[in-house]
Structure 1
Amino acid sequence: MPTRYGRTVPRDGGSGASPAPEQAREVFGDRFADAVRYAELLAEAGVQRGLIGPREVPRLWERHLLNCAVLSEVVPEGVTVCDVGSGAGLPGIPLALVREDLRITLLEPLLRRTTFLTEVVELLGLDHVTVMRGRAEEVMGKLPPVHVVTARAVAPLDRLATWGIPLLRPYGEMLALKGDTAEEELKSAATALSKLGAVTTSIVHVGEGVVDPMSTVVRVEVGESPGGVRFAAKRAKAARTGRARRRRG
């Protein structure tokens, strides 16, 4: 597992969002200035376009940027990541700012959100991030299976799993940021997760000393056949269709 943080950081600056807490300088390291700019974009364009509520602006750092960035503690080095239902880029953008070793796809079905995400990625120079418009069930065959699927505030765990797990490669994992309902959701989703190929589930807490309370992550690890029989057939069909279209093109 990669080291957590500990890089030199530039001077604070910017306006729009609330001032960055000291922890942010440590977490984002030499990308701190970019994190400040992203917070400003969320506080300004994000609110104007309806991507984030105005009441969230005063707590952007603690509740959103830092809460998402600490997910990096449980993401392995050098893997591919798909952030399902990325919305305004949470957790995908903070994770990308902290971890340039990752190859991240921000998957989002709504045009106004993908437009915003594309602007952010270009403005911040996140060359290791790709924005893709579509629903998870639509991109099988278009998006190569990934090592890790991330998600935050997208759907209850059982429904989220039907979208996220089929995008995983064998022995990959889904990391879902959840709140106080994590344990209850995990219990309720146990049968569905098993059918989808989950072999291990757990709840982990990240961000000690950075966010209070710590961020809660539901980790779902899959075996050789992620998505189960139902989704394996769907993925194979999507792949065949994609190949046929490429040949015709």
Structure 2
Amino acid sequence: MPAPTPEQDRAADLVFGARRELADRYVAHLAGSGIVRGLIGPREVPRLWDRHVLNCAVVEELIPESARVADVGSGAGLPGLTLAIARPDLRVDLIEPLERRVQWLTEVIEDLGLEHVRVHRDRAENLADVVDVDVVTSRAVSALTTLVPWSVPLLHGEGRMLAIKGRSAAEEIAKAEKVIRRAGGGNAVVLTAGRELLPEPTTVVAIDVGSVGGRIGPGGSGR
């Protein structure tokens, strides 16, 4: 398992708190069976802590206490499993259509004892009648023009979409304005997470749907 740098070690302690040991075991899964079974590329092993796990886990600061969360295109559990480890108060639904990824996620969830996590083997656009959440997350799944119609229906008229993006986040919002409005989304903004923990904070596109404040309130850690 790749060892974190002293800076990453401190950040992991702050993000995961008393559940840091679970985060270590998750990274071991990624670096082991995750590589063998093709969920993570071998070249990503040295960057698992900073580029993947911590980059995703800091998004927890944008999620309110006791929220219901759906992670679209969960893949190797990024960000869904990192959020579930950091925040035991959340109820997390991982949405992933590929069987081999679903099997791996199921094995990791069972090994870590994450009873507040469920896995759905399906596409997000097929699950609006099954999944009803407060927050929808995603990372490296698709452009907003495609991602918004997949994600917003899972909020059932009220909630928040949080999509981890790169430097072109503002451009994606501009291109997706009509799609966002058509789907029922309201204000779309670029936020950062982990500013005080990471040398490169995580860029997140946040799209509010309905009266978000009345249903899920402000973001904050539930640890």
Structures share fold, TM-score greater than 0.5: yes
Aligned to 2:43: 55
Aligned partner of 2:215 in structure 1 is none
Q: Which residue among 171, 180, 184 is the counterpart of 1:197?
A: 184
The residue identity in structure 2 corresponding to 1:184 is: E
**Aligned residues: CA RMSD:** 1.2
CA distance in 1, matches of 2:153, 2:74: 17
2:99 equivalent in structure 1: 111
Please give the alpha-carbon distance, in whole angstroms, between the structure 2 residues aligned to 1:212 and 1:157: 26
Matched residue, 1:214: 201
Partner of 2:4: 19
- Partners of 1:86 and 1:170 in 2: CA distance: 22
Q: What's the CA shift string for 1:112-152, capped at 9, x where partnerless?
A: 00001101111111111111110011222122x21110000
Are the counterparts in 2 of residues 31 and 97 from structure 1 also a CA contact under 8 Å?
A: yes
Q: CA deviation at 1:27?
A: 1.4
Gaps of 5+ in 2: 212-223
Q: Letter of the aligned partner of 1:221 in structure 2?
A: D
Deviations 1:173-201 (A, max 9, x none): 10000011111101110111011101111
Q: Hey, what's the Cα distance between the residues in 1 that align with 2:3 and 2:42?
A: 12
| Amino acid in the other structure paired with 2:17 | G
Q: Take 1:212 and 1:162, find their aligned partners in 2: how far apart are those partners? A: 33
CA contact under 8 A between 1:66 and 1:210: conserved in structure 2? no
* 3-state secondary structure, aligned to 2:135: strand
Q: Which residue does 1:142 correspond to in 2?
A: 130
Number of aligned residue pairs: give it: 208
1:96 matches 2:84: yes
- Map residues 126-141 of structure 1 onto 2, 5 A cutoff: 126-141=114-129
Distance in 1 (alpha carbons) for counterparts of 2:4 and 2:63: 28
The C-alpha deviation readout for 1:82-140, integer Å capped at 9, x for no partner, is 00000000000110111111100001000000001101111111111111110011222
Contact kept in structure 1, 2:195 and 2:201, CA below 8 Å: yes
Identity percentage of aligned residues = 50
CA distance in 2, matches of 1:216, 1:210: 14
| Shift of residue 171, structure 1, vs aligned partner | 2.0
Residue 65 of structure 1 pairs with residue 66 of structure 2: no
- Aligned to 1:199, the other structure's residue is in SS state coil
Q: What is the rounded CA distance, in whole Å, between the counterparts of 1:76 and 1:196 in structure 2?
A: 23
Looking at structure 2, the residues matched to 51 and 108 of structure 1 have their Cα atoms a distance apart, in angstroms, of 12
Residues 67 and 215 of structure 1 are in contact (CA less than 8 Å); yes or no, is this contact kept in structure 2? yes
Contact 1:18 1:57 in 2 (8 A): no
Deviates more, 1:215-224 or 1:105-114: 215-224
Tell me if the contact between 2:157 and 2:184 (Cα under 8 Å) persists in the aligned partners.
Answer: no
* Paired amino acid for 2:52: H
Residue 164 of structure 1 corresponds to which residue in structure 2?
151
1:55 CA displacement: 0.9
Cα displacement string for residues 203-247 of structure 1 (whole angstroms, at most 9, x for unaligned residues): 1111012222100010011127xxxxxxxxxxxxxxxxxxxxxxx
Greater gyration radius: 1
CA distance in 2: counterparts of 1:198 and 1:142, whole angstroms: 20
Q: Structure 1 unaligned runs (5+)?
A: 1-15, 225-249
